[in-house]
Chain A
């Protein structure tokens, strides 16, 4: 995916850069294939966004981030609303007591393992639920890395 599409909080690894006027500058500050970047936060209007390259924070416009092809690392903590279907572990819930209570009832709690289905529904230990985009954006998860016996990473 393009760096501009990576969710806030994601740790990504750079795959390639589209050649442009700013490519030499991007490479000089360390945005190179194989290097890890973190999406730190975005400005109030969504553009530009802050990225961490090694130990420096660099801000890039979305149009500039679009030139960078990246892949998300599994250890990223991202909101469920931005995640692709798959297995996840709940890491963070951003909401007050009522929100947390409501989620608890359907099986979404810290550390719980859930599946995100292709129709945006969530499968928990208690069943399949339609949680809604707004709530999904307040539930942060990390990819479940399944360890199978005998398989090497």
Chain B
């Protein structure tokens, strides 16, 4: 399925946008985290040879897992910050880059589930 390349392209675009947004917002360290995850997709384009399909699949699958983790992190940070309301603090505010990340995260999660069912042999 050449759809693997399509997904890889889509995720690359989404993640580059997220990365740039975080940089603009000044969250340097987190943007580096996003960068390292996004590199997973970019390096996927470097896979050649007869086994390239399987390796690209690996890049897309793992990269998606990583983005699911990253967006889960942001989501949980927000949820847990709601606790601090009890002591008079303020909950965390979701910025634009956070929102884009969450959207990327949802798309990643869909990919993970889809690819697992369809393409990867279970050794789970």
Spot the interface stretch: A26-34, A90-98, A112-120, A126-134: A90-98
Q: Tell me if B48 is interfacial: C-beta within 8 Å of chain A.
A: yes
Q: Does A96 contact B48, Cβ atoms closer than 8 Å?
A: yes
Interface residues on B, range: under 10
Shortest beta-carbon distance from A112 to chain B in Å? 14
Chain B 41-60 interface 0/1 with A at a Cβ cutoff of 8 Å (1 = within): 00000001111000000000
The 6 closest A-B pairs by CB, nearest first: A94-B49, A92-B49, A94-B48, A95-B48, A96-B48, A92-B50
- Give the CA-CA distance A108 to B49 in the complex, in Å: 14
In the bound complex, residues from chain A placing their C-beta under 8 Å from that of B49 are 92-95, 140
Q: Give me the interface of B with A, judged by CB distance under 8 Å.
A: 48-51
Shortest beta-carbon distance from B105 to chain A in Å? 27
In the bound complex, residues from chain B placing their C-beta under 8 Å from that of A140 are 49
**13 A-B pairs, CB-CB below 8 angstroms?**
A92-B49, A92-B50, A92-B51, A93-B48, A93-B49, A94-B48, A94-B49, A95-B48, A95-B49, A96-B48, A99-B48, A110-B50, A140-B49
Shortest beta-carbon distance from A137 to chain B in Å? 13
In the bound complex, residues from chain B placing their C-beta under 8 Å from that of A99 are 48
Closest to B45 in A: A96
Chain A 80-95 interface 0/1 with B at a Cβ cutoff of 8 Å (1 = within): 0000000000001111
Closest to A95 in B: B48
In the bound complex, residues from chain A placing their C-beta under 8 Å from that of B51 are 92
In the bound complex, residues from chain B placing their C-beta under 8 Å from that of A95 are 48-49
- Give the CA-CA distance A93 to B51 in the complex, in Å: 10
Shortest beta-carbon distance from B97 to chain A in Å? 30
- Give the CA-CA distance A110 to B50 in the complex, in Å: 9
In the bound complex, residues from chain A placing their C-beta under 8 Å from that of B48 are 93-96, 99
Chain A residues 101-153 with CB under 8 Å of chain B are 110, 140
8 further interface pairs, Cβ-Cβ under 8 Å (given A92-B49, A95-B48): A93-B48, A93-B49, A94-B48, A94-B49, A95-B49, A96-B48, A99-B48, A110-B50
